[in-house]
Amino acid sequence: MKKRNNQTMLALGFFDGVHNGHKTLINQTVTIAQKNQCASAVLTFKEHPLRLIFPAYAPSMITTNDEKVAIIKSMGIDEVDINPFDEALMNLSPEEFVRDYLLSRYHVGHIVVGFNYTFGYKGEGNTDTLMALGKKYGFGVSVMPPTVIDGQTVSSTLIRDLIASGKVSEVETFLGRKYTINGSVVIGKRLGHTFGIPTANLKLSDTVILPGAGVYFTRVRVRGRSYDGITNLGHNPTFEQHPYSIETHLYDFSDNIYGEVMSVTFLERVRGEIKFDSLDELIAQIKKDIAFADEHFRHRK
């Protein structure tokens, strides 16, 4: 599509996870841009603002910045700008944020935000403030209502809570896709190999939120192919001072994949973390977990 003018239709927000609520907002931005034959853009930040304001309360992320950009661009947005959130930005008043930060970077024709959007020093600006500034500086504003699914307002906080509590099978309803983590396969203690249950130890590429400790039925992608897997996350309390690990046993797979990039998609929780009295009990339970997932998840109709 040839752009008729150099105005930009701009979506604002942090967009962690790019969940179903975010998608409604982004789709609206693309629609307005297409209608006006101009560019669409998303402006967001590299780090959650709480990382600077109240570090102890900063949440773990659902998506990395690279994942966020890829998902947003796949929805038809022309430009995704991920800028640092620093003290200078934090201390701008709502009007300074719009006048000196947004309007100095973009020829803004229209801004799209969510119903709970806040901005400026101490979050003093809200959607009413933004609409008033739009009238003053000559840009339109669309405020998207909450997206409600199964009686719950879709939010990054809700999705983080589901992931952290191990309710991975419920995540897709709100996120719009199953929860996936990415990393590289590294050498672990190789206990699984010793007992005939080899596992791939995953080192994450970036820090993201992880499902609660326990065992999960997963879908693994490595070397361009997908495999069913059983993934254990946690400190493995059977062993003293065992480091936190993410270990996956792949069904019907025995290749050496050290150093390979691997993604793990969480489908169902099998059980929580258990401390066993002996290594033999642990190995026996792992075999039960593999058999259970094989029967109840892999082959269910």
Same domain, 140 and 182: no
Q: Which amino acid is at 294?
A: D
Same domain, 196 and 261: yes
Q: Which amino acid is at 56?
A: A
Check whether 6 has a pLDDT greater than 90: no
Give dist(CA 115, CA 289) in Å, integer: 44
**Considering 120, 137, 153, which residue would you say is the last residue of a domain?**
153
Q: What is the DSSP letter of 239?
A: S
Same domain, 98 and 198: no
The verdict on residue 158 lying in a domain is: no
- Could you give the residue ranges of the DSSP H alpha helices within the chain? 20-35, 50-53, 65-74, 87-90, 94-96, 127-137, 156-164, 171-175, 191-194, 279-293
State the total domains in the chain. 2
pLDDT at 280: 83
**Considering 136, 153, 170, which residue would you say is the last residue of a domain?**
153
CA distance to 12, 52, 92, 98, 169, per residue, from 122 (Å): 17, 12, 9, 15, 36
Average pLDDT, the chain: 91
Same domain, 15 and 139: yes
Q: How confident is the model at residue 237 (pLDDT cuts 50, 70, 90)?
A: low
Same domain, 33 and 129: yes
Q: How confident is the model at residue 277 (pLDDT cuts 50, 70, 90)?
A: confident
The verdict on residue 200 lying in a domain is: yes
pLDDT at 37: 94
The verdict on residue 2 lying in a domain is: no
Check whether 7 has a pLDDT greater than 50: yes
Note whether 80 and 72 are within 8 A (CB): yes
The verdict on residue 241 lying in a domain is: yes
Percent of the chain with pLDDT over 70: 92
Same domain, 186 and 66: no
Domain CATH code at residue 83? 3.40.50.620
Q: How confident is the model at residue 301 (pLDDT cuts 50, 70, 90)?
A: very low
Please, how many CA atoms are within 13 Å of residue 241, restricted to the half-sphere of its CB?
0
Domain CATH code at residue 219? 2.40.30.30
The verdict on residue 163 lying in a domain is: no
CB atoms within 10 A of CB 223: 12
The verdict on residue 225 lying in a domain is: yes
Query: What would the pLDDT profile of 81-134 be if each residue is shown by its tens digit?
Result: 999 999 999 999 999 999 999 999 999 999 999 999 999 999 999 999 999 999
Same domain, 19 and 117: yes
pLDDT at 50: 85
> Which pairs count as long-range contacts for 156-165, CB under 8 Å and 24+ apart, including other chains?
156/14, 156/16, 156/17, 156/19, 156/59, 156/62, 157/59, 159/17, 159/19, 159/62, 160/59, 160/60, 160/62, 160/209, 163/62, 163/209, 163/210, 163/211, 163/266, 164/209, 164/210, 164/211, 164/212, 165/212
Domain range for 217: 178-298
Give dist(CA 36, CA 213) in Å, integer: 49
For residues 263-272, give the mean pLDDT: 96
Give dist(CA 153, CA 142) in Å, integer: 19
Q: Which amino acid is at 51?
A: R
Same domain, 56 and 124: yes
Same domain, 68 and 134: yes
Same domain, 129 and 250: no
Note whether 132 and 12 are within 8 A (CB): no
Dihedral sign computed on CA atoms, order 173, 174, 177, 182: negative
For residues 27-39, give the mean pLDDT: 96
Same domain, 200 and 93: no
CB atoms within 10 A of CB 248: 24
Give dist(CA 186, CA 259) in Å, integer: 6
The verdict on residue 171 lying in a domain is: no
Same domain, 94 and 187: no
For the ranges 188-202, 210-224, 251-265, the maximum mean pLDDT occurs at: 210-224
The verdict on residue 191 lying in a domain is: yes
